[in-house]
Structure 1
Amino acid sequence: MSPRHILILGGTTEARELAAALTAHPGLRVTTSLAGRVSRPGAVEGDVRIGGFGGVEGLADWLRAEHVDFLVDATHPFAESITANAVRAARATGVPTVVLRRPGWRPGPGDRWHEAASLEEAAALLPRLGHRVLLTTGRLGLAAFAHLTDLHFVVRSVETPEPPMPPHTEVLLARGPFTPDDELDLMRTHAIDVLVTKDSGADATSAKLTAARQLALPVVLVRRPPLPEGVDAAPDVAGVLGRLGLGTGVSAPR
């Protein structure tokens, strides 16, 4: 009997944790697919494939050809197009699917948050909030801020950002996690007076919010896109394992 095949669309800490948890179960074949956008991804248990599928039809073809029994989208909360394609391909092929989506951040006492629906909306808020911006929204999308010629940007990214970008931009290439003290030192050293970030929701990247709170800095928080209508979502690895019936005395779905 061939092993039941689970495909994880990965690239996040939760995806790696899920792959490790699933490979510990006998009778499962686990494949993690990485888009290949990061040059040095972390180690992943099980089989790994690199690169896109070629849209909805390409992914659907792969699900059929590789006899995938269950699909888990564990991509970043802002990987909107990947999630949409995954849900459509899974529905087209009848493959059960769940989206592993960590909860978003919530403001606490002392936070000065300004929510934005997009990077463009975030850019529109900045001129009235500060002049020295710490931008931690990733290497893509800087074009939304390119017209802000009177502001100074410190852009922190794991990979080199793609142009166009604001004319007064300083790029810091760094990989977290960072501590609150790290973030306080960064913000003080560069005289940051406003932070722009996406609501990734990860504990490992929340230290910048703690530092901004301690310095009483405004934060522009870009809201994550909504999930496709009707999609099943789990907040953590345990939730996905529950959907698969693992750890509950129930066999994984065929």
Structure 2
Amino acid sequence: MRTSRDGAVLTVTLDRPDQLNAQTPATWSALAEVGASLDDDVRVVVVRGEGRAFSAGLDRSVFDTSSTTAGGLGELVRLPVEEAQERIRAYQAGFRWLRSPAIVSIAAVQGHAIGAGAQLALACDLRVFAEDAQLRLPEVSLGLVPDLTGTSTLVELVGYSRALEMCMTGRAVGAAEARAIGLATLVVPGPELEDAVADLSAALLSPPVGASRATAALVRSAVRSDFPTQDAAERAAQVQRLHDLAGGR
């Protein structure tokens, strides 16, 4: 995995194109380190995959339950239950930071986004799909469950019934359907993916940083807050913005 910085935009690139950007526990640790190292000047984070796929999910080596390779399923099976759950919690941290209050995250998705790849795309605030993109959560067919924050983000995006159907069948969702059900923010021809993400990033950077971050926080809280709680949050945020503007911030 590599990162690059262009002003307020940080790009995180999964860089194993020969393996379709298959992920390992080292990937998740590296993602968590990126999240922990963010500075306040970063406003947009773009997550992308090198080559023809966003990410085809877990690397095959992780699936070997007989192996004691660090981070593999075999090691998790051999750990005490609480320690295994704590290990997965650390993996989840590599995904959850993509909803950090100070940033807006964008997944640039081409080709396959399967399993852990799908959950990484879902972890972002926004998703730009190339026309060939397919998102799939096949964990149940392997006797497993999505455990990298994917269930909460999927339900938030498409609702309970559709999320249940997608997770229980493990079927592929193409770009056109993803746009129709709210998984994809935009769908563009493959050659236009990079430019579309750049244009969206520029649009997100256009408003003043204080108003942008306050608005993003309100929209995020609205997903789970009742009306009185959300109304109060809007009042508090607006008064704070007025004070900031009066003070020249």
Q: Same fold (TM over 0.5)?
A: no
TM-score if structure 2 supplies the norm length?
A: 0.23
**Structure holding more helix per residue:** 2
**Normalized against structure 1, the TM-score is what?**
0.22
Q: Relative contact order, CA 8 A, sep 6+: which one is greater? A: 1
Pick the structure with greater CA Rg: 1
